[in-house]
Chains A and B, each alone.
Chain A
Amino acid sequence: DTAVSQTPKYLVTQMGNDKSIKCEQNLGHDTMYWYKQDSKKFLKIMFSYNNKELIINETVPNRFSPKSPDKAHLNLHINSLELGDSAVYFCASSQVINEQYFGPGTRLTVT
C-alpha cells in the first residue's frame, strides 16, 4: 500500500494553463504539506495544513491554491502557469513534529 500518493507523476503544459495535482495519504496523519523543489534541487515548503486548516503559507503567489477536502487529501491547483513554476512538487504528511512521509513527486514542466 502506498502511504502518500500523488497524481499525476508527470505534467507537461503550456504557459497560461490551469492545472491540479492531487495528494492522498493513508497513514491517518493530521498534517499535510506541499513542497516545491526547483532545478537547483532546493526543497522549499509552500503550505502546511493541519486537520484541513491552513497553518503555513510561505508567501506563495495566490495563483497557487491548496484545498483539503478531508484530512487524507491535500490538492494543489495552479492558475495561469508560468515558466518559473516548472519544478518537482512533493506532497508530504506527518503527525506534527514527527517524521514526514513524502509522495513520489509530480514533475511539472511549463513550456
Chain B
Amino acid sequence: RKEVEQDPGPFNVPEGATVAFNCTYSNSASQSFFWYRQDCRKEPKLLMSVYSSGNEDGRFTAQLNRASQYISLLIRDSKLSDSATYLCVVTNTGGFKTIFGAGTRLFVKA
C-alpha cells in the first residue's frame, strides 16, 4: 500500500463547478498535512495546511479525519486558473520526512 494515495483523475469540470479531492495515508503517526498545487513544468506551491478542525481559505476547504486517516480538499466555484495538479502531502519523523501523493489532475473548462 502506498503511504499516501490519491485518485489520479483527471477531473474535468466546467467553470463554477464544485469539485472534491480525497486522499488517504497509511501511517497513523503522521504529524502534519498539507495540500500543494503544481502547475505544468513548475514547482509545487503550498495551497493550504490541513487541520483536524477543518479549515477554509476562500473557495477552498480542507478537512482531516485522523481516525480514518483521510484528508479532503473541496474547491467551490471553480475557475479556469484552478487547473493544475493537486498534491496531498503528509509529514512524518518529526516533520523531516515529507511524503507526496501522486497528485490529482484538475482541468477546469470554460
Contact = CB atoms under 8 A, between A and B. Distances in A.
Interface of A: 31, 33, 35, 40-45, 48, 50, 55-56, 58, 90, 96-97, 99-100, 102-105
B85 interface: yes
Given A41-B103, A102-B44, A97 B32 contact: yes
Given A41-B85, A90-B43, A104-B43, A97 B102 contact: no
B106 to A, nearest CB: 14
A55 B49 contact: no
Given A42-B102, A99-B49, A102-B44, 7 more contacts: A41-B103, A42-B103, A43-B87, A90-B44, A97-B94, A100-B44, A102-B45
Given A102-B43, A105-B43, A45 B98 contact: yes
Contacts of B46: 99-100
B31 A97 contact: yes
A56 B96 contact: yes
B83 to A, nearest CB: 15
Nearest to B87: A43
Nearest to A54: B96
A45 B93 CA distance: 13
13 contacts: A31-B96, A48-B97, A56-B96, A96-B95, A96-B96, A97-B32, A99-B34, A100-B46, A102-B43, A103-B43, A104-B42, A104-B43, A105-B43
Contacts, number: 56
Contacts of A104: 42-43
Contacts of B97: 45, 48, 56, 58
B103 to A, nearest CB: 6
Determine which residue in B38, B43, B99 has the highest number of CB atoms from chain A within 10 A of its CB, and name it.
B43
B22 interface: no
Contacts of A103: 43
A99 B94 CA distance: 14
B102 A41 contact: yes
Interface in B69-110: 85, 87, 91, 93-100, 102-103
